[in-house]
Amino acid sequence: MDNSLTTIRAGIQQKIGAATLGVDYVNRSRDDRVSDVFTGDASQIVSRLSYPFTDSLTFRAQNELNLGSSDPLYPNRTTFGLDWKAYPGVTVRLAHQFFDGGLLNSNSITSLDTILEHQLGENTTLRGRYSVISAFNGVTGQGAVGLNHRWIVAPGLRVNLGYEHTFSNTSIVTAAGDRFAQPYAVGQSASALGLFGGDVASVGIEYTDNPNFKASARIEHRFGSGNNNTVLSAAAAGKLSPALTALARFEQANFSNQLIEGLGNSSTLRVGLAYRDPNSDRWNALLRYEHRVNPYTIPEDSELDDGTLSNEHVFAMETIFAPSWRWEFYGKGALRYSSTSTAVDDYSATTFLSQLRASYRLGYRMDLAVEGRWIGQSKPDGLSSYNEFGVAVETGYYLTPDLRLAVGYSFGSVDDRDFTGYRSKGGPYFSLIFKVNELFGGFGRQRVVPPQQQESQVKPVANQEKPAEPGAVNPRNPGDL
């Protein structure tokens, strides 16, 4: 598969009495670089209605209407459904979909879903779902049941336990033919794949008690009908000083199914050191190292059976310098060493990447920016090399201080996974940038220092109201006269 999809969606929602109405405009631009069958640009108007008949029964309707050319993967469709809250935490949903055009032609699908979510205790949740789907292929049933438990070991230290079991009847015949064992499917042949039953078990631990240090780890294992998958992840972040923060993250995964085995593990280790002065935001920097093992593994690698092992080492430095509120300069440099070992030969290459960007604020919301990129790679023979350059200009508009819309033009398609930003093609482009400030509960953000606790002070007596002196005119006690 080699395709890309760009989706733009905008809509409005209005509540009229108890009913909720909504209308969306959706544009999908797809580039199918294999067969060109699904390449095209299509727009839809999506209208929605939700109306509660009672506190437990809700009617839902949705219509998707194509404008002009029809998208074969998103045809005209009308859906009617009823949601019934049969019991607290239990919802029964009945829905019927009518299709017009596309791959499904003028067919319809009826589904009956039971959705369960029940709190067994303060830290334990039971979730389940079961669906019965009826269409021209017949009736299919599939479902899952899961249990999640959070164990608070100590303040700031908790263990998360999870288990889920999925099941399905996969022996029925589909319109694509009999379902049979296959490692993967491409394009429309994916309809011949069935949902096999399986189990997922996970254990995670989180530490958040120290405001200057946070850590987490998780292991997840999937096993069942012809599949096996294990995912490991661990992360930690801590402040070495008010201006220095150290970060680390490790991920490892492997996969096998009824016909794929022998694939090597894929893993990524990231270690970084970030600088940000809490008293000045003029200069910020990030130094990082990344080690990747088998980063480009695909199912076909199992057919080679030659013990292929790939490694990448990346050293990168990036910085932002803002001498004033109008000017901002960004620079990034990276060195990547890649090596691949096979039973036949060994290959290696060194790649240099650099990125420079300057932006100027025209006002509070508008800015102009220019960016340059360079990729240089040495060849194994050491005699020849490869260079690629690219320049882009753009203008941006800040809807909010953290949300920026921009349009620009790129002269050249200089793109790499270790660059910041996406430039796969030359020509005009549109970008949307959102600054995330609320991850990890605001960890690492510069906060205004609250008033600190001070030593107790005794108010001077001169500031207090002085009592009247006793005397004949103003005696303290009538008995003193």
pLDDT digits (tens, 9 = 90+) for 156-185: 899 999 999 988 775 555 554 555 555 555
The structure's pTM equals 0.66
Residue 104 φ then ψ, to 5°? -95, 0
Distance in angstroms (rounded) separating the CA atoms of residues 364 and 138: 60
* 353 within domain boundaries: no
What lies within 8 Å, CB to CB, of 333 at 6+ separation is 316, 317, 318, 352, 353, 354, 355
pLDDT tens, position by position, 53-88: 999 999 999 999 988 777 777 888 899 999 999 888
Task: Give the residue-averaged pLDDT of 17-40.
Answer: 81
- Answer whether 150's CB lies under 8 Å from 158's CB: yes
366 pLDDT above the threshold of 70: yes
Task: Provide the pLDDT confidence category of residue 431 given band limits of 50, 70 and 90.
Answer: confident
* 148-157, 225-234, 463-472: the lowest-pLDDT one: 463-472
Task: Provide the pLDDT confidence category of residue 437 given band limits of 50, 70 and 90.
Answer: low
Q: Write out the two tokens for 122.
A: 């303060």
| Region of residue 34 (left: phi > 0; alpha: psi -120 to 50; beta: else) | alpha
Task: Provide the pLDDT confidence category of residue 452 given band limits of 50, 70 and 90.
Answer: very low
CA angle 211, 213, 214 (to 5 degrees): 100
pLDDT tens, position by position, 109-124: 888 999 999 888 889 9
pLDDT tens, position by position, 310-319: 888 999 999 9
Look over the chain and give the mean of its residue pLDDT values, rounded to a whole number: 80
478 pLDDT above the threshold of 60: no
More confident residue, 114 or 450: 114
Number of independent structural domains in the chain = 1
Task: Give the residue-averaged pLDDT of 134-146.
Answer: 77
pLDDT, position 223: 83
Task: Give the residue-averaged pLDDT of 39-45.
Answer: 83
* 47 within domain boundaries: yes
Range of the domain at 59: 1-119
* 17 within domain boundaries: yes
More confident residue, 435 or 405: 405
pLDDT tens, position by position, 215-265: 999 999 988 766 678 899 999 999 999 999 999 999 998 766 555 666 667
Task: Provide the pLDDT confidence category of residue 378 given band limits of 50, 70 and 90.
Answer: confident
Task: Provide the pLDDT confidence category of residue 358 given band limits of 50, 70 and 90.
Answer: very high
* 104 within domain boundaries: yes
pLDDT, position 166: 86
SS3 assignment for 92-157: EEEEEEEEECHHHCCCEEEEEEEEEEEECCCCEEEEEEEEEEEECCEEEEEEEEEEEEEEEEECCE
DSSP-assigned letter for residue 240: S
Find the CATH number of the domain harbouring 83: 2.40.160.40
- Answer whether 337's CB lies under 8 Å from 347's CB: no
* 205-219, 253-267, 340-354: the lowest-pLDDT one: 253-267
Distance in angstroms (rounded) separating the CA atoms of residues 355 and 422: 12
* 105 within domain boundaries: yes
* 23 within domain boundaries: yes
* 142 within domain boundaries: no
* 81 within domain boundaries: yes
More confident residue, 111 or 190: 111
* N-term to C-term CA, the chain: 109
193 pLDDT above the threshold of 70: no
306 pLDDT above the threshold of 60: no
Distance in angstroms (rounded) separating the CA atoms of residues 186 and 201: 29
What whole-number percentage of the chain has pLDDT above 70?
Answer: 73
Distance in angstroms (rounded) separating the CA atoms of residues 400 and 334: 31
- CA dist 304 to 127, 298, 299, Å? 42, 11, 10
